Amino acid sequence: MKSFIKYISDIFSGVASLLKGMRVTGKYFFSPRAIVTQQYPENRHKKGKKKLEMFDRFKGEVIMPHSENNQHKCTACGICENNCPNGTIEVISVMNIGEDGKKKRALDKHIYRLSMCSFCALCVKTCPSKALAFSQEFEHAVFDRKKLIKILNKPGSTLMKGIE
């Protein structure tokens, strides 16, 4: 008799536990407000409520901010190149003769290979003149691999005044 009671109670407790789970899924079925999906290409534009905004610290890709006068802060010291664990960065510098007649190193090309970058942020963090930064760009897909090799300094840009 005892085992029979257990048999019956097993059935009821089992069904009750199943119904508990069904209550959760059933509740979500009837509450479309709980939907968390964001529809990607649409949410980039301002149309919908949930606009896609990356956090300002998001490590999208390394960029070199330029001022309005097309000036950057990079002194071509090469610390970022040394600190990069993957060989992502290559700094090509030229020797310019300054106004006072002294030789001075200046940036020719700051090559950044996005395809090799692992976003460890060591280059940005170690840069002594804060020349590098992260952009929040995340759509990196391109059709040609060569496009992932980027030259960060804009053509014709010069070093910002007051940065050694």
Partner 1 sequence: MSEEISSVVDIDQQEYIINIGPQHPSTHGVLRFVVSLQGEVVKSLQPHIGYIHRGIEKMCENLTYQQIIHLTDRMDYLSAHTNNEAVCLCVEKALGIEVPERVKYIRTILDELTRLASHQLWWCSFGMDLGGQTCYFYGLRDREKILDIFEETCGARLLLSYNTPGGLMWDIHPNFQKRIKEFIKYFRKKLPEYDAILTGNVIMHQRTEDIGILSLEDAISYGITGPTARASGFSCDVRKRYPYSAYDKADFKEIIYTKGDTFHRYQARMDEMWESMKILEQLVDNIPEGDFTAKMKPVIKLPEGEYYQRVESARGELGVFIVSKGEKYPYRMKFRSPNFCNLAIMNKLTSNFKIADLIAISGSLDLVIPDIDR
Partner 2 sequence: MQDFKFNIYDLSSFTHWVDVSLYSYCTPFWAMMWEMIIIGVAMLLFYAVIGLFLVYAERKVCAFMQNRIGPNRVGPYGFIQTVADLVKLLMKELVIIRKSDKFLFYLAPFIVIIVNFMTMAAIPFAKGIHAIDFNIGVLYIMAISSMGVIGVLIAGWSSNNKFSMIGAMRSGAQIVSYELSVGFSLITMCVLAGSMQLSTIVEGQSECWYIFQGHIPAIIAFVIFLIAGTAETNRGPFDLAEAESELTAGYHTEYSGISFAFFYLAEYINMFIIASIAATVFWGGWMPFHISGLAGFNNIMDFIPPFIWYIGKTFVIIWIMMWFKWTFPRLRIDQLLTLEWKYLLPINLVNIILMALIVLMGWHF
Residues forming contacts to partner 1 in the complex (CB under 8 A) are 13-14, 17-18, 20-21, 23-25, 36, 54-55, 57-59, 83, 85, 118-122, 125-126, 134
85: partner contacted, choices partner 2, partner 1, none (Cβ within 5-8 A by kind)? partner 1
36 counts as binding partner 2 under rule CB under 8 A:
yes
Task: State the Cα–Cα distance between residues 80 and 93, nearest whole angstrom.
Answer: 13
Backbone angles phi, psi at 147, to 5 degrees: -70, -15
Least Cα distance to 133 among 80, 70, 71 occurs for 80
Whole-number Cα distances in Å, 104 to 67, 100, 123: 22, 10, 23
Instruction: From 35-43, 53-61, 100-108, 120-128, give the range in contact with partner 2 by CB under 8 A.
Output: 35-43
26: partner contacted, choices partner 2, partner 1, none (Cβ within 5-8 A by kind)? partner 2
Neighbouring residues of 61: CB distance < 8 A, sequence distance ≥ 6: 112, 114, 117, 134, 135, 137, 140, 150
Three-state DSSP state, 27: helix
What character string, x for contact with partner 2 (CB under 8 A) and - otherwise, covers 105-144?
----------------------------------------
121: partner contacted, choices partner 1, partner 2, none (Cβ within 5-8 A by kind)? partner 1
Beta carbon nearer to partner 2, 37 or 69 = 37
Instruction: From 27-35, 49-57, 105-113, 124-132, give the range in contact with partner 2 by CB under 8 A.
Output: 27-35
97 counts as binding partner 2 under rule CB under 8 A:
no
Q: What is the DSSP string of 71-109?
A: EE------HHHHH-SSS-EEEEEEEEE-TTS-EEEEEEE
